[in-house]
């Protein structure tokens, strides 16, 4: 049996097929430009040629139809029959206060999701369209939804409430929800494994840094605070999002520049952050421009690192004891300059980065430790795996064994867990750069019996 996961964005659909019995990824793919003049698809099945094509996809229905067709394609596919799909897991941006854990989909659930569209107008319609399309094309296959907000439901009131009129919460559900939840869940539990600790005894700060970015404070294995709020706009400096700003800026600029509220919302979400400062959002482009003497690009990098460092400090105070700092997502996993800037000067907090180890850590197929040997706080780079969280939730829901994460055991919580696809990729990484092996993080339980590392 295989599990299909779907992550439908406003104009895209990412997907993965996972062989449950063999615990291995069979296929990954993405459809882009949905609803535009033409759409594109790229699919990579294990041991097969990469499939790339342009096609017409006015809606997510046509996109998912092609995905299902290509999964069973003799030349490019990964399964022989769609009947092999035992469940489908869908990523959903916003669960509001209705959905505090993953759940199976029925018509009532879909209607409830539609009431949350105003909390995520850019993402929720696409999420729902993907669910409805999959249900129509696979009516007899259990469908599960995994909310980005669910992980953060353990935050206390003092963390999730805003100091605004309380009736805004009662009438309009205004509160901090947090996002990137599946990523934070995966990294928190993997960090506990790498530390050799139980989840309930683990305190970590997770920095999910991609085009979108969020920090999460994890105390005793659960989320107690996070930087994103009612929407994914709040918090860190991001690729195109502003992160934290003085709210008074909004009426000030609207009154002076003549922007409407909706126009300002677009500016803060799509034309701010790094792109607002230097015109570039890809961190590689920003770093290259800064190295070439672009003062605005250099400023943008400093601003991003400043905000990351600021939240590391704030969350260190909140947690009291920090066992590890975790960097994850595209920039967190590959951006050594951002990691360096975020950790610079934090030695008094027990956070000591090893610059040579940090420079080595450019591998998305291994978990690495980049802290100095004498650093009281470990610094890990953990490649996230949101798809695996979705896969395991969907399977457990289908089997009737699922529960909230504090009462549920994921396969990746074992010290013996191996991501087979990444293990294969790591071989190639080590052939090109054998030194990477020296920084691979190893769970204490897998070290020698005497504890000396021999």
Cα dihedral across residues 267, 269, 275, 276: positive or negative: positive
Longest dimension (CA), the chain: 69
- Compute and round to an integer the Cα radius of gyration of the chain: 22
- How many residues are listed for the chain in this entry? 454
Q: Minimal CA–CA distance to 324: which of 379, 369, 372?
A: 379
Chain position carrying tokens 């997502």: 329
Both tokens of 227, joined, read: 């930087």
12: part of which helix (H) or strand (E)?
strand 12-19
- Rounded CA gap, 364 and 361, in Å? 9
Q: Tell how strand 85-92 and strand 143-147 pair up.
A: parallel
Q: Minimal CA–CA distance to 200: which of 154, 160, 156?
A: 154
- Rounded CA gap, 439 and 366, in Å? 9
Both tokens of 440, joined, read: 């691979």
Cα dihedral across residues 335, 338, 339, 340: positive or negative: positive
Q: Minimal CA–CA distance to 202: which of 98, 322, 28?
A: 322
User: 156 near 144, Cβ under 8 Å?
Assistant: no
- Rounded CA gap, 25 and 64, in Å? 19
Active site residue 354: no
Indicate which residue of 19, 24, 106, 148 is catalytic: 148
Q: Which residues pair with 223 in a beta bridge?
A: 218
295: part of which helix (H) or strand (E)?
helix 295-319
421: part of which helix (H) or strand (E)?
helix 420-432
Both tokens of 213, joined, read: 């970015």
304: part of which helix (H) or strand (E)?
helix 295-319
Catalytic residue numbers, as ranges: 148
């Amino acid at each position: 049996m295989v599990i299909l996961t779907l992550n439908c964005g406003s104009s895209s659909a990412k997907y993965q097929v996972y062989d449950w019995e063999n615990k291995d990824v069979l296929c990954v793919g993405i459809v882009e430009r949905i609803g535009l003049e033409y759409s594109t698809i790229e699919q990579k099945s294990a041991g097969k040629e990469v499939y790339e094509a342009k096609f017409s996809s006015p809606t997510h229905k046509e996109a998912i139809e092609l995905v299902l067709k290509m999964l069973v394609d003799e030349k490019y596919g990964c399964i022989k029959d769609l009947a092999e799909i035992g469940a489908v897991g869908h990523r959903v941006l916003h669960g509001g206060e209705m959905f505090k854990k993953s759940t199976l989909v029925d018509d009532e659930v879909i209607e409830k999701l539609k009431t949350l569209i105003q909390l995520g107008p850019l993402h929720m319609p696409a999420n729902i369209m993907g669910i409805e399309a999959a249900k129509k094309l696979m009516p007899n296959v259990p469908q599960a939804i995994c909310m980005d907000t669910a992980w953060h439901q353990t935050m206390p009131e003092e963390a999730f409430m805003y100091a605004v009129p309380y009736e805004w919460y009662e009438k309009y559900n205004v509160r901090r929800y947090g996002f990137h939840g599946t990523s934070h869940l995966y990294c928190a539990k993997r960090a506990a494994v790498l530390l050799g600790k139980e989840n309930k005894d683990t305190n970590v700060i997770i920095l999910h840094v991609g085009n979108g970015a969020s920090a999460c404070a994890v105390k005793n294995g659960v989320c107690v605070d996070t930087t994103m709020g009612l929407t994914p706009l709040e918090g860190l400096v991001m690729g195109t999002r502003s992160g934290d700003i003085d709210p008074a800026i909004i009426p000030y600029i609207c009154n002076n520049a003549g922007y409407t509220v909706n126009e300002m919302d677009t500016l803060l979400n799509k034309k701010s952050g790094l792109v607002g400062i230097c015109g570039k959002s890809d961190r590689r482009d920003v770093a290259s421009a800064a190295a070439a003497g672009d003062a605005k690009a250099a400023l943008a990098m400093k601003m991003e690192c400043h905000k990351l460092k600021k939240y590391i400090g704030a969350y260190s105070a909140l947690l009291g004891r920090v066992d590890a700092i975790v960097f994850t997502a595209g920039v967190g996993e590959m951006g050594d300059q951002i990691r360096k800037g975020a950790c610079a000067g934090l030695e008094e907090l027990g956070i000591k980065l090893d610059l040579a180890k940090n420079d080595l850590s450019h591998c998305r197929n291994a978990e690495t430790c980049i802290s100095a040997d004498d650093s009281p706080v470990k610094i890990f780079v953990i490649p996230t795996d949101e798809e695996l969280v979705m896969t395991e939730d969907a399977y457990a829901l289908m089997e009737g064994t699922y529960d909230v994460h504090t009462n549920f055991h994921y396969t990746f919580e074992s010290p013996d867990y191996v991501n087979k696809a990444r293990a294969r990729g790591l071989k190639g990484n080590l052939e090109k750069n054998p030194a990477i092996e020296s920084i691979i993080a190893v769970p204490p339980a897998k070290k020698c019996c005497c504890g000396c590392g021999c």
